[in-house]
Amino acid sequence: MSMGGWKKFSFLLIFAFSHFFAQQVFTGQIIDDSGDNLSSVVVINMSTDQKTLSNSFGMFSMAASPNDELRFVKEDFMRVSVRVPANGFNSQLLVRMNPIPRDVGEVKITKKPTGNLETDSRLAAKVDKGEIVKQAVGLPEPVGKMREKPAEVKKVLLPILLGSLDVQGTYDLISGKARRQKRQYRYDDLQEHIEWVRNRVDNDYFTEAGIPEERISEFIQYAFEVKPQVRTYVKAKNLAGALLRMEETMPVYLERLKTSKIQK
């Protein structure tokens, strides 16, 4: 073997030994939120893709290096990730896993409004069970809506100037299909946002303020129109903020309602 080849071999040998000795056996115990041992938890070293299972005592051991990420996964439990500390081999790691929240049924609010906007907004809110589970599991939010995108003038005219023709886009603009689609989508979005509020707030919250039950949806739409910030909060799924801003429009709406009754 030449001198150059020997140097390369020596370097690889030293690197392999250093990597081997850097990895040590890391041990730990896994428990639930009550302190009971968790068995059959999948432990994954994200740096090496090694996997192991915890035993009946919740114990596990795995080869790892400082700063490796260990991930703990078990059905019906929220996953946990920890980093192996530099001195982590001198002590046993204790990992606590919390169960995923379960459906406990809809919580009905029976307390009457107090007159305090912030307090009443919280009292009126129903528990969004799907949102709780989604946040716990970490489900991704869908990007946009699965519906046909209306043709736009700019996107149709620009290809024509470049010598290309979007036949379908041109037809949609000329026939009025694009305009009808936009109008329909605006209506659908409005109804969806009104329904989002109705599904989370009891009717009593509105009727006790003086709004007839059959006019609740009408009032919500009115609030969207006169105070757009209300709908901004709805889009952000901030119910408390939406209700606080919505209540600012109640006096004017009730006055209009009273006037219309007098005129009739």
Q: Is the pLDDT higher at 240 or at 92?
A: 240
Of 126-135, 207-216, 222-231, which range is least confident? 126-135
Confidence of residue 217 (pLDDT cuts 50, 70, 90): very high
Mean pLDDT, residues 75-96 taken together: 80
What separation in angstroms does the CA of 100 have from each of 29, 30, 40, 76, 77? Answer: 20, 16, 17, 6, 5
Whether the CB-CB separation of 151 and 173 falls below 8 Å is answered with yes
Check pLDDT > 50 for residue 17: no
Check pLDDT > 90 for residue 258: no
Confidence of residue 197 (pLDDT cuts 50, 70, 90): very high
Per-residue pLDDT, 168: 79
Rounded CA gap, 249 and 228, in Å? 11
Per-residue pLDDT, 11: 41
Per-residue pLDDT, 145: 60
How much of the chain, in percent, has pLDDT values that exceed 90?
25
Q: Is the pLDDT higher at 223 or at 3?
A: 223
Check pLDDT > 90 for residue 263: no
Percent helix, strand, coil in the chain, to 5, is 50, 15, 35
Of 39-48, 55-64, 142-151, 221-230, which range is least confident? 142-151
DSSP for residue 213: G
Contacts of the segment 127-136: beta carbons below 8 A, 24+ positions apart: 128/200, 129/103, 129/104, 131/237, 132/101, 133/100, 133/101, 133/103, 136/78, 136/100, 136/101
Per-residue pLDDT, 232: 92
Check pLDDT > 90 for residue 1: no
Whether the CB-CB separation of 206 and 83 falls below 8 Å is answered with no
Q: Identify the residue whose tokens are 């209540």.
A: 247
Check pLDDT > 90 for residue 37: yes
Mean pLDDT, residues 233-245 taken together: 89
203 half-sphere exposure, CB direction, 13 A CA radius: 6
User: What is the per-residue pLDDT across 88-145, written as a single tens digit (0 to 9) for each?
Assistant: 555 678 899 999 876 444 444 444 444 454 455 555 555 454 555 445 444 444 445 6
Whether the CB-CB separation of 106 and 236 falls below 8 Å is answered with no
Mean pLDDT, residues 167-181 taken together: 81
Nearest to 209 by CA among 114, 96, 133: 114
Domains of the chain by start residue, with CATH: 3-97 (2.60.40.1120), 117-142+180-263 (no CATH)
Per-residue pLDDT, 230: 92
Whether the CB-CB separation of 29 and 57 falls below 8 Å is answered with yes
